[in-house]
Amino acid sequence: MAISTGAQNQNTAEHPATPLDKRIKVVLVGDGAVGKTSLVVSYSTNGFPGEYVPTAFDNYNVVVNVDGQPLNVQLCDTAGQDDFDPLRSLCYPETDVFLVCFSVVCPSSYHSVASRWINEVRKYCPNAPIILVGTKSDLRSDVRLMLQLARYGQSAITTIQGHQLAHRLGAVNYVETSALTQHDLKEAFDQAIVSALNTRRGGANLLYRRRKPPPLWRRWLCCWERPSSSET
């Protein structure tokens, strides 16, 4: 499935409604200050916000081309602070896919995914696919920050830990991103778009779904047919 980004706009009120089959809704959740707004701004405007401003919730629109067909993508940036819980839940109706975010240099935000965010998402949208996103991957190379974490007996979340959590929670996939360098930024949103469309079309999404092992007779047959080292 080929996806390319087209025209972008931020104000959804200035544009006519798009038919439901030609738009999807992507909601970003996660602890405050993990970089959700930076992801959305960097992806939708190709820019990087200069300072952190807590978000209640903001909507952005991006028009992408999927296999040559235009698709309107609504990006809902939500607040992670407890004070905004009532407002955040207003964003959840009709969500097609979630980006559940944590910062790879903030272990507490990683643990919040399992203890808080996955439960909230499943409560309101039990069938919506989830992409787990590790943000601020560029800061792993910040020596001063790594030393600061070590001082408190902590370390950056590894890529393996991210994949393990995605597997455990039944997420579609895990993607590490940097809004600053845009490393795998498009990949994260592309996966969200593809997952939403697959779900809408009744396709399979759970890449981490445990697969049953092949029957014993099939495994035995494979071993029997495998050529020996002397034959290769």
CATH for the 21-200 domain, from 3.40.50.300, 3.40.1160.10, 3.40.50.800, 3.60.40.10 = 3.40.50.300
CA 16 to the chain's CA centroid: 28
For residue 6, what are the CA distances in angstroms to 11, 68, 111, 183?
Answer: 16, 11, 36, 19
- Whether pLDDT at 80 is above 50: yes
For 125-156, write each residue's pLDDT tens digit. 999 999 999 999 999 999 999 999 999 999 99
Any idea where the domains of the chain sit in the sequence?
21-200
The CA distance from 109 to 210, in Å, is 26
For 3-48, write each residue's pLDDT tens digit. 776 544 444 434 444 555 689 999 999 999 999 999 999 999 988 8
Contact 134, 103 (CB under 8 A): yes
- Show Cβ contacts of residue 189 under 8 Å, excluding neighbours closer than 6 positions: 26, 43, 73, 99
Phi-psi region at 82: left, alpha or beta (left = phi > 0; alpha = psi -120 to 50): alpha
- Whether pLDDT at 117 is above 50: yes
pLDDT band at 120 (very low <50, low <70, confident <90, very high): very high
Residue 113: phi and psi, rounded to 5, are -60, -50
pLDDT band at 216 (very low <50, low <70, confident <90, very high): very low
pTM of the predicted model as reported, rounded to 2 decimal places: 0.82
- Show Cβ contacts of residue 205 under 8 Å, excluding neighbours closer than 6 positions: 129, 172, 195, 198, 199
Answer with the residue of higher pLDDT: 111 or 1.
111
Contact 10, 60 (CB under 8 A): yes
The CA distance from 155 to 56, in Å, is 30
